[in-house]
């Protein structure tokens, strides 16, 4: 067990988002197929969800499948969808036990019907849970999300429901998949890559970025705690000067 007293409960990131990267390389290092990496990635998802709930994080958003991931070999896409369905089935109890509400963002209409059905069921069954909100980004792309928001706003202008001068940060926010969530405070990416990969571009405007050189299946409670401690050591100025903050 880790010493959680190092974490300041008064300065927790409200919203943590994670780019879970490196499943394929983790498997390759062990001479196994990529699928093996994803299966072990699921175990890291489970641990991270439980640890975040225990650490009182209010929102956890996981990049599980991007719009670009559809271009992967069909067998890998099928495996990821199969893992999604089996995890949703298996983890409903854990979500209930930890009072977690499941949410999903992305072009969910593109999901295979079995995955879409399972997802809808778990979202509905956990809808009244009041603890952490766990959001899975599935068939998600930030540019798609922004394009869709702009289209919807344009339609409202055309139908005289709003005027162009009404469009501001808040109105754009209201048209994103994440309209009912706060901005990301801490964005973690595993595997040593330093990229955002079309994830929550609007929502990470002032997020603290944390890149860690371990593959996703190896991401543990220790790494999560280290990321939170690193976040707590930073001064978030939101464009102001240090003096203005104190």
Residue selected from 13, 16, 22, 176 as contacting ligand FPP according to rule CB under 6 A:
22
Closest contact distance (angstroms) between CB of 38 and ligand FPP is 5
Q: Indicate whether 84 belongs to the interface with ligand FPP (CB under 6 A).
A: yes
Compare residues 216 and 231 and give the one whose CB is closer to ligand FPP: 216
Residue closest to ligand FPP, measured at CB: 24
Residue selected from 42, 60, 153, 176 as contacting ligand FPP according to rule CB under 6 A:
42
Residue selected from 14, 25, 58, 82 as contacting ligand FPP according to rule CB under 6 A:
25
Q: Indicate whether 136 belongs to the interface with ligand FPP (CB under 6 A).
A: yes
Query: How far, in Å, CA of 211 to CA of 214, rounded?
Result: 9
Closest contact distance (angstroms) between CB of 152 and ligand FPP is 27
Q: Indicate whether 41 belongs to the interface with ligand FPP (CB under 6 A).
A: yes
Residue selected from 16, 18, 45, 122 as contacting ligand FPP according to rule CB under 6 A:
45
Q: Indicate whether 64 belongs to the interface with ligand FPP (CB under 6 A).
A: yes
Compare residues 44 and 149 and give the one whose CB is closer to ligand FPP: 44
Query: How far, in Å, CA of 107 to CA of 198, rounded?
Result: 14
What are the angstrom distances between the C-alpha of 196 and each of 4, 148, 201, 203, 228? 29, 20, 8, 12, 19
Other beta carbons within 10 angstroms of residue 107's beta carbon come to 16
Query: How far, in Å, CA of 86 to CA of 118, rounded?
Result: 9
> Residue 201's closest CA among 187, 181, 211, 213?
187
Which helix or strand (DSSP H or E) is residue 154 part of? helix 142-158
Compare residues 125 and 156 and give the one whose CB is closer to ligand FPP: 125
Region for residue 106 given its phi and psi (left: phi exceeds 0; alpha: psi -120 to 50; beta: otherwise): left
> Residue 214's closest CA among 5, 29, 1?
29
Which residues contribute to the site for ligand FPP (CB under 6 A)?
20-25, 38, 41-42, 45, 62, 64, 69, 80, 83-84, 87, 136, 191, 216
């Amino acid at each position: 067990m880790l010493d959680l007293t190092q974490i300041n409960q008064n300065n927790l990131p409200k919203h943590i988002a994670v780019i879970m990267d490196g499943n394929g390389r983790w498997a390759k290092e062990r001479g196994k197929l990529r699928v093996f990496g994803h299966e072990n990635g699921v175990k890291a998802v489970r641990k991270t969800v439980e640890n975040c709930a225990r650490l009182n994080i209010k929102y956890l958003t996981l990049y599980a499948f991007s719009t670009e991931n559809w271009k992967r070999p069909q067998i890998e896409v099928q495996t990821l969808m199969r893992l999604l369905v089996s995890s949703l089935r298996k983890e409903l109890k854990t979500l209930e036990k930890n009072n977690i509400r499941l949410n999903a963002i992305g072009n969910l209409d593109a999901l295979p019907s079995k995955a879409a059905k399972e997802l809808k069921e778990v979202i509905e069954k956990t809808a009244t849970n009041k603890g952490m909100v766990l959001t899975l980004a599935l068939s998600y792309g930030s540019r798609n999300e922004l394009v869709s928001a702009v289209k919807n706003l344009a339609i409202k202008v055309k139908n005289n429901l709003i005027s162009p001068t009404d469009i501001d940060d808040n109105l754009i926010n209201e048209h994103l998949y994440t309209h009912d969530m706060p901005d990301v405070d801490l964005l973690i990416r595993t595997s040593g890559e330093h990229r955002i990969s079309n994830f929550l571009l609007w929502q990470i405007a002032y997020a603290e970025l944390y890149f860690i050189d371990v593959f996703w299946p190896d991401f543990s409670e220790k790494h999560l705690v280290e990321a939170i401690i690193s976040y707590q050591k930073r001064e978030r100025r939101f464009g102001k000067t240090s003096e203005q903050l104190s």
